[in-house]
Amino acid sequence: MPPKRAASTRAAAKRSAPQQPPESPPSSPTESSQAPATKKRAAAGAPSSANGSAPKRTKKPSAGGLPDSPAAPSGNDTTAPESLPRNTELPESLHFDRPRHDDSLRIAAWNIVSLKSSEPKGLLRYIDAEDADILVLTETKVNEVPMHPKLTARYKHQYWGIGKQKSYAGIAILSKLEPKNVTYGLPTLRDADSKGRMITLEFENTFLIGTYCVNAGEGLKSMDNKIAWNKAFAEHVRQCDQRKPVIWCGDLNVVHDDRDLAQASKKWNKSPGYTQIECDAHRELLAGTADDGGRLVDVWREQHPDAVGHFTFYGWRGMCRSKGIGWRLDSFIFSERIKDRAKECEIRHECYGPSDHVPIYCDVQGPL
């Protein structure tokens, strides 16, 4: 989901009201997943209308205006299908029997909440089972490059992006392939924390961009930061795409439309990751209208056009996993001209437990 996973304060629910699942979609406790606080009651002595009743207030549009965006809820709120796994711990035995294409490379991405906390919950079992050629880990929360023999044995080339804030954000790309160049953060964004949110690897034929995108924050209080990030990121993608095709993956902290989250009508323009400002910016980026860039394609959606309720994030609070209340915040985005190189893009629905996200992977026709 969008923000960080730092523990956020809980709003006290009225005793008489049934407990509701959280409505915000943060990717981490640090970026709170709680919905904005309710409005305060009108103060005594407020002006009233001629008939003695309180005057009607004009409803102000929030976070981007009226719900005229293509991303706005259609009224068909949903949860994850009952056919999808709802386990809360990683299965003891993992075996992925999907055959790889002979000429393809496997790229996997996972928001792990924290390298330290996810490892004892089965992180390495997943890494062994997936055996991806390139692994993008987001929200690692490491403060220095870890010396990890098991990871080093599998991945000779490791790139760890660490921001300025301690135990916050963080991203790593672990690769069996050596890139030509590596860039940490957004070159045009003067924010040291962007180094803990994005890494770009340049290969011979493509750019691979891994992200843990900025979250708009609890109560949308960090929307200005998100807007600045979106602008700088769109410029970076455009510059890369003009040179070589782009493969972008990781935690995007935004959904495309109401198919990609549960209870959409409750969250529109209220929860980070599902506001008109964010969704329209994401749509413009993909359409190529942001910074005059080339068109990009969400290859998971391209391969699953009718899928509804297939989520990659289920908040730990409120029993969201067992209730099927989630968000599809993680995906693979390709430059349109190479979208056919995405041979298979899937969500590892069963791999929940080490994190409140599940992994995603894409088999890409090589070479990179």
* Phi, psi of 315, deg, nearest 5: -60, 145
pLDDT given at position 61: 39
Active-site residue, from 256, 282, 310, 357: 357
Q: List residues forming the annotated binding site for Mg(2+).
A: 111, 139, 251, 253, 356-357
**6 pLDDT more than 80:** no
Q: Locate 324 and state its tokens.
A: 């099927």
Q: List, for residues 137-176, the tens digit of each pLDDT value.
A: 999 999 999 999 999 999 999 999 998 899 999 999 999 9
Q: Which residues contact 233 (CB under 8 A, 6 or more apart)?
A: 186, 198, 211, 213, 285
User: Per the residue annotation, which of 133, 241, 251, 363 is the catalytic one?
Assistant: 251
Active site includes 251?
yes
Report whether pLDDT(80) > 90: yes
In the annotation, is 128 catalytic?
no
Domain spans, the chain = 104-365
Contact indicator for 134, 107 with CB cutoff of 8 Å: yes
Check residue 25 and give its pLDDT: 45
Higher pLDDT, residue 191 or 358: 358
Residue 271: burial class (beta carbons within 10 Å; 0-12, 13-18, 19+): buried
- What's the mean pLDDT when you consider all of the chain? 85
Residue 30 has pLDDT above 90, yes or no: no
Under CATH, what is the fold of the domain 104-365?
Answer: Deoxyribonuclease I; Chain A (3.60.10)
- How does pLDDT run across 177-234, given as a tens digit for each residue? 999 999 999 988 877 789 999 999 999 999 999 999 999 999 999 999 999 999 999 9
- Dihedral sign computed on CA atoms, order 269, 270, 274, 275: positive
At 107, which helix (H) or strand (E)? strand 104-111
Catalytic residue among 126, 155, 212, 314: 212
Question: For 20-24, 90-94, 189-193, which range has the lowest pLDDT when averaged over its residues?
Answer: 20-24
